[in-house]
Amino acid sequence: MDKCVLAFLAHPDDAEFLCCGTLICLADPGWTVHIATAIPGDCGSLTADRWSISATRTTEAVRAAAMIGAAYHCLDERDGLVVYDQTAIQKTMDLFRRIAPALVFTHAPKDYMLDHEQVSLLARAASFLFAAPNISTTPAPRGSHVPHLYYWDPIEGVDSLGNPVHPTTLIDITGQLEKKSAMLACHASQRQWLQAHHGMDEYLAAMTCHAAGRGRQIGTAAAEGFIQHRGACVSSQRPVG
């Protein structure tokens, strides 16, 4: 469907860290925006049980998405246990059928955690095949087609071995950074978790610092980086950037 974008990621708050500036750029001129997570974030707490933290985190995700008029979806897989298997692939295909995106953002193929890498595979598979009539019993909207697919920056701009990632596309988000920060701030439950588990405090500052680094590459105050998927049968046109 024209002017429909899907950010398909692993956890609530991943989009706000990685690509919400670009989503704001698209929402403002009228794109329909969907944010989906494979996981409700059931391991994202040191104190709450999986059910209460999942409820908290998905509520935070809905609140953040609403700031730009986006819809939020969750496949309800389990934190740390995402696998590229038939069940997860079918859930992803069905989601893509309901949304029929023209543009998809997902995790880098090589990232610091395997949930991100598995979700990247799911997005790649669904982008290629969701419009095939026999892949799902969920009706596909008329005109569904292979979308443009972009992998966003991994956290801190390095792959799982610490090698720098070099984006093919950089989007100026200077004018969107304030709203992106407000969206990320909706995920207040994660500050304690990130500090204890990752040694990351001031997660808003960490996001802003990375955006500033990418911005310097194109002479702006803030930017987000992406690598375009350019495999066979995928359009090489650039709908963003």
Q: How far is CA 9 from CA 34, 50, 80, in A?
A: 11, 19, 13
* 61-86 average pLDDT score: 96
Dist. CA 187–CA 63, nearest whole Å: 9
207 against 77, higher pLDDT: 77
Q: What is the pLDDT of residue 241?
A: 43
Is 143's pLDDT higher than 50? yes
Dist. CA 201–CA 164, nearest whole Å: 22
Q: What is the pLDDT of residue 231?
A: 75
pLDDT digits (tens, 9 = 90+) for 104-132: 999 999 998 999 999 999 999 999 999 99
Spans of all domains in the chain: 4-228
* Residues above pLDDT 90, as percent of the chain: 72
pTM summary value: 0.91
Dihedral sign (CA 112, 129, 102, 73): negative
Is 240's pLDDT higher than 90? no
For the 4-228 domain, the top CATH level (class) is alpha beta
